[in-house]
């Protein structure tokens, strides 16, 4: 007999928060609002398609999202980040999250974006809740 622990509501909230941050803090640095809207339409990183059920699975998803965010927020991402990025992107795909990007999609200077006026970026004058 094997005992498996299901993912907790706290983990679900954390994963949802990381995905929200990916859309509001990461994607606007690399993509236009029109492209991000298309990502939403294509269900990129949407939890409805995810297939993680255990504590371990949820931790892998959280760790992968956190690692991708860390890499993409790095001031100067290097080539040594490439394999780490690919491994964590593949983890997300394994757990049913649609993540169609590769490392080259996020290379600095590859796209012209306006992060100051993105619909997806949080307002600069927003009051804390």
- The residue among 71, 44, 64, 54 whose CA lies nearest residue 12 is 54
**pLDDT per position as a tens digit, 24-43:** 999 998 899 999 999 999 99
Please tell me the distance from the alpha carbon of residue 62 to that of residue 88, in angstroms, as a whole number. 10
Q: What is the mean pLDDT of residues 74-98?
A: 90
Q: Please check the confidence at residue 118 and state whether its pLDDT lies above 70.
A: no
Give yes or no for a contact between 72 and 29, defined as CB atoms under 8 angstroms apart. Answer: yes
**Greater model confidence, 88 or 129:** 88
**pLDDT per position as a tens digit, 3-16:** 656 778 888 899 99
Q: What are phi and psi of 115, to 5 degrees?
A: -70, -20
Give yes or no for a contact between 127 and 75, defined as CB atoms under 8 angstroms apart. Answer: no
Please tell me the distance from the alpha carbon of residue 63 to that of residue 116, in angstroms, as a whole number. 28
pTM value > 0.75: yes
Q: What tokens does 110 get? A: 């590859």
- Max Cα separation, the chain? 55
């Amino acid at each position: 007999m094997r005992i498996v622990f299901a993912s907790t509501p706290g983990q679900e909230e954390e994963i949802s928060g990381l995905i929200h941050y990916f859309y509001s803090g990461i994607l606007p640095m690399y993509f236009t609002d029109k492209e991000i809207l298309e990502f939403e339409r294509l269900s990129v990183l949407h939890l409805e398609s995810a297939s993680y059920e255990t504590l371990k699975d949820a931790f892998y998803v959280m760790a992968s999202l956190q690692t991708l965010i860390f890499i993409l927020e790095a001031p100067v991402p290097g080539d040594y980040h490439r394999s780490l990025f690919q491994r964590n992107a593949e983890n997300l795909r394994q757990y049913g999250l649609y993540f169609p990007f590769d490392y080259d999609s996020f290379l600095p200077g590859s796209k012209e974006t306006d992060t100051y006026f993105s619909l997806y970026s949080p307002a600069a004058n927003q009051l804390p809740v």
